[in-house]
């Protein structure tokens, strides 16, 4: 079995694969100060509580945009798993050409999403990942990663709004009764949710026009199911896109030994 781990700035998602089947997944808060020993406790506990055995895990695939967490999780994986540990980064075989100005600068999570989007939905394809930032990634008709767009995420936008005003406070990120908010809370919910949906539509339409060929459009990330119902430009929500990308890259580098 294979464990896949994607570390974002806000959340860490772990998946457990048996071949192509995602048999379990977990979502944790990303804590930069968490040590390898603490991750080991989390990891063992998650497996045990859901009836999985550590001795059946034969490999780990890891992507991280948080250097401290990557170091701790890599140490944990090498200590706990009797098998290969693949950390996504420069030099790792993805099976995808990276046709941008500085290929070494692109985030590992963005390449992972692009690999999975191509494999699952063909080309051209555009993925949008709703995380701390909202990342758009584009694969052209030839199957090459050609870049994309990075926008502030929904939570970042809310934080900035609150920090810059004296009277506004944090609100629950849910759909208001109407776009015309009848209270300050509903007005903020309207601006955050419908405003972010409009941002997604505007960027997605520009990217689709530039890549051409009527690309498939797929969303992933923790807030995808909240925002996508209010978008007109996104067709698919795929909660396991990043985890599948990690599995595919692991297999391309190691074979399906795990």
82 in active site: no
Which residues lie across from 61 on neighbouring strands? 4, 86
Which residue, among 62, 14, 7, has the nearest Cα to 32 in the 3D structure? 7
Closest CA to 184 of 176, 196, 154, 157: 176
User: Environment class of residue 149 by beta-carbon count within 10 Å: exposed (0-12), middle (13-18) or buried (19+)?
Assistant: middle
Cα 163 to chain centroid distance, Å, stands at 26
3 backbone φψ class: left, alpha, beta (φ>0; ψ -120 to 50) = beta
Active-site option among 18, 21, 82, 109? 109
Catalytic residue IDs: 109
């Amino acid at each position: 079995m294979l464990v896949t781990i994607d570390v974002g700035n806000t959340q860490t998602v772990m998946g457990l694969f048996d071949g192509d089947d995602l048999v379990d997944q977990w979502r944790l808060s990303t804590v930069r100060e968490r040590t390898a020993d603490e991750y080991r406790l989390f990891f063992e506990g998650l497996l045990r509580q859901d009836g999985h055995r550590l001795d059946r895990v034969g490999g780990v695939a890891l992507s991280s945009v948080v250097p401290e967490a990557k170091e701790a999780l890599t140490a944990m994986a090498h200590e706990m798993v009797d098998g290969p540990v693949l950390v996504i980064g420069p030099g790792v075989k993805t099976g995808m050409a990276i046709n941008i100005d500085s290929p070494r600068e692109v985030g590992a999570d963005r390449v992972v999403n692009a690999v999975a989007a191509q494999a699952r939905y063909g080309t051209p394809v555009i993925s949008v990942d709703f995380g701390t930032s909202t990342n758009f990634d584009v694969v052209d008709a030839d199957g090459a990663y050609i870049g994309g767009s990075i926008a502030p995420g929904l939570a970042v936008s809310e934080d900035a709004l609150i920090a810059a005003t004296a009277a506004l406070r944090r609100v629950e990120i849910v759909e208001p009764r109407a776009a015309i908010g009848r209270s300050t809370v509903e007005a903020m919910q309207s601006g955050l949710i419908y405003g972010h949906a409009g941002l997604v539509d505007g960027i997605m339409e520009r990217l689709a026009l530039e890549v051409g060929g009527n690309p498939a459009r797929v969303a992933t990330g923790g807030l995808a199911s909240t925002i996508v119902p209010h978008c007109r430009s996104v067709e698919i929500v795929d909660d396991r896109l990043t985890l599948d990308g990690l599995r595919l890259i692991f297999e391309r580098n190691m074979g399906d030994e795990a």
